């Protein structure tokens, strides 16, 4: 079964971007860990990073037609993109939202996720492990 992992804006800069918040792992490191966990779970995984809202929406639409589930870190779009929330609600596959940092413990504007309400579940604050946990959650959801 195919699973799409979508990384949103600025996540291509992981490793150098605010390492005190996001850690020192690069996006390539994280994608490698995702690939390894996916293989162990028997998933065929595709990881994509998009800066623009439209590209994320189009990727979600594609995932709805071609994947069994998706994992999305919308970056700052999580806090205000009703268009991404609508795209998640429109597709019929389970979507899990992941945030590397604990958004509940940061600035006020990060405490709201408008996209989370459209998702099956949310994992926040566990760094790159969040993606691996989300894959395991999808494996369980999709086996039921
Ligand atoms: C983030 C949290 C967002 O608030 C922020 O805008 C990001 C990264 C995270 O993974 O912790 O770009 O989604």
Which CATH number does the domain housing residue 49 bear?
3.40.50.9100
On whether the pTM is more than 0.95, the answer is yes
Q: Would 127 be classed as within a structural domain?
A: yes
22 is catalytic: yes
Atom 1 (ligand 1): residue with closest C-alpha?
75
Tell me the CA–centroid distance for residue 30 and ligand 1, in Å. Answer: 15
Q: Please give all residues whose beta carbon lies within 6 A of any atom in ligand 1, as ranges.
A: 10, 73, 75-76, 78, 99-101, 103, 110
Helix ranges (DSSP H) in the chain: 19-22, 27-41, 53-66, 82-90, 129-143
The parent domain of residue 65 ranges over 2-139
Q: How many CB atoms lie within 10 A of CB 29?
A: 14
Sheet strand arrangement including 2-7: 44-49, 2-7, 69-73, 95-99, 121-124
The total of structural domains in the chain comes to 1
- Is 48 within a domain? yes
Closest CA to 101 of 14, 35, 5, 34: 14
Closest protein CA for atom 6 of ligand 1: 76
CB 5 within 8 A of CB 49: no
- Read off φ and ψ for residue 5, nearest 5 degrees: -110, 120
Phi, psi of 73 (to 5 degrees): -110, 100
Q: Specify if 55 maps to a domain.
A: yes
Residue 29 tokens, joined: 């490191």
pLDDT, residue 144, reads 81
Catalytic annotation, pick one of 50, 77, 99, 131: 99
User: Partners of 20 in the beta sheet?
Assistant: none
CA of 103 to the centre of ligand 1 (A): 7
d(CA 123, CA 98): 5
CA–CA separation, 87 vs 89, rounded Å? 5
Q: One digit per residue, pLDDT tens: the chain, 144 residues?
A: 999 999 999 999 999 999 999 999 999 999 999 999 999 999 999 999 999 999 999 999 999 999 999 999 999 999 999 999 999 999 999 999 999 999 999 999 999 999 999 999 999 999 999 999 999 999 999 998
């Amino acid at each position: 079964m195919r699973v799409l992992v979508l990384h949103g804006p600025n996540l291509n800069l992981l490793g150098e971007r605010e390492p005190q918040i996001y850690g020192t792992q690069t996006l390539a490191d994280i994608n490698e860990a995702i690939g390894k966990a996916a293989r162990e779970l028997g998933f065929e995984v595709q990881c994509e990073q998009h800066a623009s809202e439209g590209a994320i929406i189009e990727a979600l639409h594609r995932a709805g037609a071609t994947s069994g589930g998706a994992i999305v870190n919308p970056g700052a779009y999580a806090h205000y993109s009703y268009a991404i929330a609508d795209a998640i609600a429109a597709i019929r596959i389970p979507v899990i939202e992941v945030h590397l940092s604990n958004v509940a413990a940061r600035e006020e504007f990060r405490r709201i996720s408008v996209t989370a309400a459209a998702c099956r579940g949310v994992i926040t604050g566990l760094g790159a492990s969040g993606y691996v946990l989300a894959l395991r959650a999808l494996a369980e959801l999709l086996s039921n």
